């Protein structure tokens, strides 16, 4: 790694530190979720950073002020050096978080991660129903393994943090999902309705719940919240609505190049996990230092500040709150990443969101119509 590269820094604009570092250690994964946020062309990427290269990334980012480090993927447990990476990150002073499906986890691994100093583990489930879970995951053993590992994580003294991605095929089961979380003694549960990036975008028509499904799920979640609060129960339920049912966009990543730094398995540095699809050349940690990337690269400076914004964002009094929404969503739906996120009702492209809602009202599609995320499907998309 070196510090070469042209400077595209914005005069008078000094970015704060990349507080939140996400290390996408690998795109390898034993599961095949049709809503995976990994890029469709992940099969192109085989050249993963080595242990030493990752540790150098952690060191440089920490020097820049990074404080939180998430280990993600693909499935990060596939990396045999995970405990070593966790230890190096903790020695550098990071707060560390493992984001995993639980597949490949064992009691021994949990113990070794705890010894290495891992602070936090989040396990994701596909459904509360074994059959649906295993069908979505593409593994007959996935559900039983997740249950066992969720219990083992809790037994090791970690807070139980569960993530359920909900969509039209499992959201009607929200009551059972919450019950399962309580049976597992979860402390935090993220009930995150699918957001449409990567494979989820490809499968959007088959995944987006209808308005009626969403309203019902939110009502049931709120009833559970009230019940748990009345009992002083420690479990916290977080319900995430999909952008497609909002009228104003989210302030994606808290602003482009503001605090989030994503490093992909091959060392490409991105301001968000989806940015690789944009027609922008992003820098690689094998060629440039983190400081050069963060402060001076064209990719990270492209949508910083407000002067890049066209109308209606430029004169909008909410631009400092939502930054015009999500650049990746604007690109996917309008072909231009600088446009206002079409989620916004002020966007000239908001009709795309309205059309998707109408599509979601139509007869549900079967699970078998989804394109599952795997190497073969990725190669087909790549036509290789």
- Is 154 among the residues that bind ligand FES (CB under 6 A)? no
Strand-strand pairing, 68-72 and 95-100: parallel
Q: Does the annotation flag 344 for ligand binding?
A: no
Whichever of 9 and 252 has its CB closer to ligand FES, that residue is: 252
Tokens of 246: 């909002």
Q: Does the annotation flag 33 for ligand binding?
A: yes
Among 186, 252, 309, 343, binds ligand FES (CB under 6 A): 252
- Is 333 among the residues that bind ligand FES (CB under 6 A)? no
Q: For the chain, state the CA radius of gyration.
A: 21
Return the residue matching tokens 């914005």.
10
CB 280 within 8 A of CB 328: no
- Is 269 among the residues that bind ligand FES (CB under 6 A)? no
Q: How far is the CB of 250 from ligand FES (least distance, A)?
A: 8
Among 121, 165, 171, 253, binds ligand FES (CB under 6 A): 253
Q: Distance from CA of residue 135 to its chain's centroid?
A: 21
Q: Does the annotation flag 235 for ligand binding?
A: no
- Is 22 among the residues that bind ligand FES (CB under 6 A)? no
Q: Using CA atoms, how far apart are residues 78 and 28, in angstroms rounded to an integer? A: 7
Among 272, 332, 340, 353, binds ligand FES (CB under 6 A): 272
Q: How far is the CB of 327 from ligand FES (least distance, A)?
A: 4
| β-strand partners of 355 | none
Whichever of 63 and 306 has its CB closer to ligand FES, that residue is: 306
Among 38, 193, 274, 288, binds ligand FES (CB under 6 A): 274
Q: Using CA atoms, how far apart are residues 124 and 101, in angstroms rounded to an integer? A: 5
- Is 340 among the residues that bind ligand FES (CB under 6 A)? no
User: Using CB under 6 A, which of the segments 55-63, 101-109, 166-174, 268-276 binds ligand FES?
Assistant: 268-276
Handedness of CA 323, 356, 276, 70 (dihedral sign): positive
- Is 275 among the residues that bind ligand FES (CB under 6 A)? yes
User: Using CB under 6 A, which of the segments 138-146, 236-244, 322-330, 346-354 binds ligand FES?
Assistant: 322-330
Q: Using CA atoms, how far apart are residues 167 and 95, in angstroms rounded to an integer? A: 31
| β-strand partners of 188 | 161, 236
Site residues for ligand FES, 172-231, by CB under 6 A, read 197
Q: Using CA atoms, how far apart are residues 161 and 124, in angstroms rounded to an integer? A: 9
With 0-12 / 13-18 / 19 or more C-beta atoms within 10 angstroms meaning exposed / middle / buried, residue 37 is buried
Residues that bind ligand FES (CB under 6 A): 197, 252-253, 272, 274-275, 326-328
């Amino acid at each position: 790694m070196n510090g070469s590269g042209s400077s595209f820094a914005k005069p008078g604009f000094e970015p704060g530190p990349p507080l939140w570092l996400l290390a996408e250690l690998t795109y390898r994964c034993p599961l095949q979720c049709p809503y995976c946020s990994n890029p469709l062309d992940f099969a192109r990427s085989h050249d993963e950073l080595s242990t030493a290269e990752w540790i150098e990334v952690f060191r440089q980012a920490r020097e820049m002020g990074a404080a939180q480090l998430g280990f993600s993927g693909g499935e990060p447990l596939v990396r045999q050096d995970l405990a070593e990476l966790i230890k190096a990150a903790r020695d550098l002073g990071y707060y560390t978080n493992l984001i995993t499906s639980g597949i490949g986890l064992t009691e021994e691994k949990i113990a070794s991660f705890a010894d290495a100093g891992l602070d936090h583990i989040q396990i994701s489930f596909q459904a509360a129903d074994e059959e649906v879970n295993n069908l979505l995951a593409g593994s007959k053993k996935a559900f039983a393994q997740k249950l066992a590992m969720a219990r083992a994580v809790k037994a090791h003294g970690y807070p139980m943090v569960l993530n359920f991605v909900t969509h039209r095929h499992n959201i009607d089961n929200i009551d059972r999902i919450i019950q399962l979380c309580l049976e597992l003694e979860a402390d935090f549960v993220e009930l995150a309705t699918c957001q449409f990036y990567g494979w989820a975008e490809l499968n959007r028509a088959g995944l987006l719940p209808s308005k009626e499904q969403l309203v019902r799920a939110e009502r049931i979640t709120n009833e559970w919240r009230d019940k748990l609060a009345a009992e002083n129960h420690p479990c916290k339920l977080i319900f995430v609505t999909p952008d497609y049912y909002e009228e104003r966009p989210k302030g994606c990543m808290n602003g482009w190049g503001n605090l989030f730094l994503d490093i992909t398995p091959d060392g490409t540095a991105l301001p968000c996990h989806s940015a690789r699809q944009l027609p922008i050349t992003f820098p690689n940690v094998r060629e440039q230092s983190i400081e050069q990337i963060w402060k001076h690269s064209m990719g990270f400076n492209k949508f910083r500040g407000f002067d890049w914004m066209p109308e209606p964002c430029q004169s909008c009094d909410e631009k400092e709150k939502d930054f015009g929404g999500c650049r990746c969503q604007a690109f996917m739906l309008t072909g231009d990443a600088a446009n206002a996120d079409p989620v916004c009702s002020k966007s000239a492209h908001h009709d795309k969101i309205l059309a998707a809602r109408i599509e979601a009202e139509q007869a549900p599609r079967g699970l078998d119509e989804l394109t599952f995320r795997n190497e073969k499907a990725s190669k087909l998309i790549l036509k290789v």
